[in-house]
Structure 1
Amino acid sequence: MRAVSNGIFKLEKALVIILIPVMLLAMVFDIFFRYFLSSPLIWGQELALYTFVWSSFIGASMSIKTREAVAVTLFVNKVSDRLRNVLITAGLLICAVFSIYILYLSISWITNPTILLQRSVTTQTPMIYMYLCIPVSLFFMTIHFINWFLESLRFTRAGKVME
């Protein structure tokens, strides 16, 4: 599972490395054409929005992998090492199950015929391309949570303290 999670993380990094410069260029072109050439681009704002949303969702998944997601550890830091490991492992299991459930809901949502037929206002691009970022990022998050959960089990069995 660690190899799969690491492979997904490499893919996420590559996607973000591509998406953020594309977003920046779309915004620069849109501003240049709108204010200097008085001929606004139809697709500039839309492309910037799509790449921003995709990079945000992928970035959220990356924060799970790198363990930099927001967490409240006030209580967990005040208990014994053994109880701390149990609480962290239980929390990771809950997070994994929750992300699987939300992944299921997101797939059900985007496969709805009304969603599949939606198009963007300006470029008439199918909105499914925008909405796909939700199940894709949730799938990546689920893999990262499962990997982290399995690592926490290994730590607990070895008697090490989870960080």
Structure 2
Amino acid sequence: MAMRGISDIIFKVEKLAVIIIIPVMLLAMVFDIIFRYFVQSPLIWAQELTLYTFVWCSFIGASMSIKTKEAVAVNLLVDKINPKLRNVLIVAGLIVSALFSIFIFYLSINWITNPNILLQKSITTQTPMIFMYICIPISLLFMSIHFLSWFLESLRFTRAGKVIE
């Protein structure tokens, strides 16, 4: 239950982040279009901000899709087999997915703590690139927690003899 509570809190934080980031991205795009085509003076920072907010939304959205169980999946085989084997395959898939996201999280931490990465700055605004890169380990940590929560929930379903959805 504790893992589910943590996952729920993270999901609320993700929703809040997306609610803030998407309008910022939209406003940056609109200002860039207005200044580029109507004022004939493009905003240097607008394209960069749009790109960074898009990357953040993509990674956060990927994590949110795990929590809501709407991530892209191929269910052709799983939908055709009996419920007991289905539960085993789903639990196995969740274990592999959780381990994979934890491993990639570990690699991303090693990557962003590299001094060369920490010193990188964006081309136009000279903003430290760590502000964009940090979304990778954050979203992978959130994904890992969502996967572990889903895994524990699936174990409870399996023990109760229910079919995992």
TM value normalised by structure 1? 0.99
Tell me how far apart the structure 2 counterparts of residues 16 and 139 of structure 1 sit (CA, whole Å).
Answer: 17
- Could you tell me which of 34, 45, 48 is aligned with 2:47? 45
Q: Offset of 1:48 from its aligned partner?
A: 0.5
Q: Which residue of 2 aligns with 1:159?
A: 161
Q: Offset of 1:49 from its aligned partner?
A: 0.5
What secondary structure is seen at the aligned counterpart in 1 of 2:103?
helix
Q: Offset of 1:78 from its aligned partner?
A: 1.5
Q: Offset of 1:75 from its aligned partner?
A: 1.0
Q: Which residue of 1 aligns with 2:58?
A: 56
Unaligned runs of 5+ in 2: none
- Could you tell me which of 10, 31, 42 is aligned with 1:8? 10
Q: Which residue of 2 aligns with 1:92?
A: 94
Q: Offset of 1:80 from its aligned partner?
A: 1.2
Aligned length: 163
What amino acid maps onto 1:25 in structure 2?
Answer: L
Tell me how far apart the structure 2 counterparts of residues 44 and 76 of structure 1 sit (CA, whole Å).
Answer: 45
Tell me how far apart the structure 1 counterparts of residues 161 and 48 of structure 2 sit (CA, whole Å).
Answer: 51
Runs of 4+ in 1 over 6 A off after TM superposition: none
What secondary structure is seen at the aligned counterpart in 2 of 1:43?
helix
Per-residue displacement from partner, 1:78-137 (whole Å, max 9, x unpaired)? 211111101100110110000000000000000001100100000000000010110000
Q: Offset of 1:152 from its aligned partner?
A: 0.4
Q: Are 1:124 and 2:110 an aligned pair?
A: no
What amino acid maps onto 1:12 in structure 2?
Answer: E
What amino acid maps onto 1:131 in structure 2?
Answer: Y
Per-residue displacement from partner, 1:29-79 (whole Å, max 9, x unpaired)? 111111111111110000000000000100000000000001111111121
Tell me how far apart the structure 1 counterparts of residues 37 and 75 of structure 2 sit (CA, whole Å).
Answer: 48
Q: Which residue of 2 aligns with 1:77?
A: 79
TM value normalised by structure 2? 0.97
Tell me how far apart the structure 2 counterparts of residues 124 and 78 of structure 1 sit (CA, whole Å).
Answer: 54
Percent of residue pairs bearing the same amino acid type: 75
Q: Are 1:101 and 2:125 an aligned pair?
A: no
